[in-house]
Amino acid sequence: MYANYEDIQETFDDFVNKVGGESRNIKKYVRRNYVKDNSGFPREGAYFGLIKEGEEPSGGYHDLSLVVFLSNEQEDKDDRCMVALVFGSLGYRDDYDIAALPGTKRLFMNLGLNDIFIKNDFTDIQSRDGFKDFCEAKDNLYPADDGAERIPETLRNAFKKYENVIMVASLFSPHNEDETKKKLGKFIAAYANMRSWPSNKEQRKVVNELIHNSKNDEIDEEREIEKLRQLVEVRKYVVLQGAPGTGKTRMAKKITEGKKVFFTQFHAETTYSDFIYGIRPIVSKEKQNQQDHLEYEEVKGVFVRSIIEAKKAQDNAKELNKSPDEVYLIIDEINRANLSNVLGPIFYLFEPTMHESEVTIEVCPRLSLSKLPDNLRVIATMNTADKSLGGIDFALRRRFAWYTMVPHSIKADAGYEFCEEAFIDMEDIFYKYASDEELNLMPGQAYYIIADNSVELEERLRYEVMPLIKEYLAEGFLIRARDSFISYFKKWIKEEMYK
């Protein structure tokens, strides 16, 4: 194989040129080679790659580089190459901020490759445990019965001095042309994106096509609805969680179309009496002396009413010898209330696999249950951006299935427009700067669905999105993205965030 390594280099260089690695005959990188033409494979192993513009052509170097490590096995089937993002031997000089950005890791996570190692912390240059596990993993790409090692000796010799500083890596067979082009193309496109190489529309198009970044793919709503219907059918109790504008309540209503539905929205003052059962005082006049008379009446909450309806459906179905109709309870903003106080002892009944037991819970007078009706389904929604609200304890989390709804591009309904460019610009800021937790704060696609005129988009951004972003910044979220947000609103509404 080693005698033909030029073919891999030619493919590599072709991709580098297509994604903007050179502009006006000026290279935006320094090329490094440790290969010896006509001299045999180096005992230490061969590799080639790119280091940052301004570094020396030999010796130690700084920052992040893109490297292809080569192998030289006696039989072609045993050859493996590795393409990797590698930390320079002289440490970080200009790339520390890039390495520390969550978006840099996400860039490689979104390459759509199954057999890939991605270090959890790109600023960690000490540990190699994760990379060691990757090298020793069961090989799904190259079945063991072909007699090949996952990491052949000649390849291991090439990268063994760099195991601590390999940030991202993936294997490919150099004799599989399609696989070679796929792996090299994706890594080079990601590196070009990280380095901001593309300088024209065509280069950006090539980068996007090579990365095939799934975060911007439209989600098939009908398929998602069906997926959630199946989840609700099996698990019975489901929470739809996500950032504002991701369509949680809308999705809950879509799932339950044509069904018997009870709806409630929790808030900070919601009580057990509101949701389940309570006693309410009423004042009436006595007929004879017309004096005020205090009486009490029982009030069945939405939860009790949904249980009664579900049991009624069961009884009717039993008489007709058929399956009972399902009854749905939608609880909007479930984490706005103090759930321990609201649920009380019925908390025990939220168990999707519960069978009849000896434990009976008195839900209210004349209604005691050892399990909830099998045909009762509960769908709750939770806004992950509302950090001022109470959390959900682990015991309740175990009883519900959790489905995260993420912001995504959509096809708007007739008469409406989805402002995709403005949405993607906002999405790019969050993917670059947001931590995993902060990613849950991204404004959803609903903010970018407007009637067919640009004025409405400007109003949405000015009076809804910008105040939300300013609140995030005031709470200490996404601080590093502050300048990017300022530039975003200058571009889209020509207004300063701070005056």
Ranges in the chain annotated CATH 3.40.50: 234-384+391-404
* Tens digits of residue pLDDT in 9-65: 999 999 999 999 998 888 999 999 887 655 667 777 889 999 999 999 889 999 999
* Tens digits of residue pLDDT in 377-409: 999 999 887 754 445 667 778 889 999 998 988
pLDDT confidence of residue 148: 63
The residue assigned the tokens 């929604």 is: 381
Helix (H) or strand (E) holding 172: strand 166-172
Q: Distance (Å, rounded) from C-alpha 205 to C-alpha 106?
A: 19
Q: Distance (Å, rounded) from C-alpha 441 to C-alpha 477?
A: 9
- Backbone dihedral angles phi then psi of residue 330, each to the nearest 5 degrees: -100, 125
Over pLDDT 70: what percentage of the chain? Answer: 89
Q: Which CATH fold would you assign to the domain 234-384+391-404?
A: Rossmann fold (3.40.50)
* Tens digits of residue pLDDT in 179-230: 999 999 999 999 999 999 999 999 999 998 998 654 545 567 888 999 999 9
Please tell me what DSSP assigns to residue 96.
Answer: H
Query: pTM (2 decimals)?
Result: 0.79
From its phi and psi, is residue 270 left (phi > 0), alpha (psi between -120 and 50) or beta?
beta
Asked whether the beta carbons of 256 and 263 are under 8 A apart, the reply is: no
- Pairing type for strands 277-285 and 292-300 reads antiparallel
The mean pLDDT value of the chain amounts to: 87
* Tens digits of residue pLDDT in 348-386: 888 777 666 667 888 888 888 888 999 999 999 998 877
pLDDT above 70 for 333: yes
> Residue 267 carries which side chain, given as an amino acid letter?
H
* Tens digits of residue pLDDT in 87-100: 998 989 999 999 99
Angle at 246 between CA 244 and CA 250, to 5 degrees: 105
> Residue 419 carries which side chain, given as an amino acid letter?
C
The residue assigned the tokens 């004349």 is: 366
Q: How many helices (H) and strands (E) in the chain?
A: 17, 19
Tokens at 350, concatenated: 């939220």
* Tens digits of residue pLDDT in 240-258: 999 889 999 999 999 999 9
pLDDT band per the 50, 70, 90 thresholds, residue 107: very high
Distances in Å between the Cα of 452 and the Cα atoms of 427, 449, 456, 457, 462 are: 22, 9, 8, 9, 18
pLDDT confidence of residue 354: 66
Residue 378 burial (CB count, 10 A):
24
pLDDT above 60 for 1: no
Q: What is the dihedral of CA 80, 85, 91, 94, to 10 degrees?
A: 160
